[in-house]
Amino acid sequence: MKRQIVILLKAVSAAAWISFLTQSSSAAPAPESRFVGLDGAKVHYTNYGAGENAVLFVHGWACDETFWSAQAPALGEKFHVITIDLPGHGQSDKPKIQYTMDLYARAIDAVLNDAKAKAATLVGHSNGAPVIRQFYRKFPAKTRGLVIVDGALRPLGDRAAMEKFIAPLRGPNYAESAGKFIDGITRPIKDGPTREKIKTAMLRTPQDVAVSEFEATLDPELWRHDKINVPLLMILAKQPGWTAEDERFAHELAPELDYQMWEGVSHFIMMDKPAEFNAALIAFFEKHGLP
Which pLDDT tens digit goes with each residue over 222-250? 999 999 999 999 999 999 999 999 999 99
pLDDT of residue 8: 38
For residue 11, pLDDT beyond 60: no
Lowest-confidence segment of 25-39, 148-162, 193-207 by average pLDDT: 25-39
Using pLDDT thresholds of 50, 70 and 90, give the confidence band for residue 25: very low
Strand 119-125 versus strand 53-58 pairing type: parallel
Contacts of 33 (CB under 8 A, 6+ apart): 44, 45, 46, 91
* pLDDT tens, residue by residue, 247-260: 999 999 999 999 99
CATH code, domain with 245: 3.40.50.1820
* pLDDT tens, residue by residue, 255-287: 999 999 999 999 999 999 999 999 999 999 999
pLDDT of residue 21: 37
232, 258 in Cβ contact below 8 A? yes
What is the mean predicted confidence (pLDDT) over 42-48? 98
Number of domains in the chain: 1
pLDDT of residue 207: 98
* pLDDT tens, residue by residue, 65-91: 999 999 999 999 999 999 999 999 999
pLDDT of residue 223: 97
* pLDDT tens, residue by residue, 163-183: 999 999 999 999 999 999 999
Question: In 3-state terms, what secondary structure has residue 32?
Answer: strand
- Host domain of residue 169: 2-288
Contacts of 58 (CB under 8 A, 6+ apart): 84, 86, 104, 108, 122, 123, 124, 125, 128, 131, 132
The phi and psi torsions of 164 (rounded to 5 degrees) equal: -65, -35
What is the per-residue DSSP string for 42-68?
A: EEEEEEES--SEEEEEE--TT--GGGG
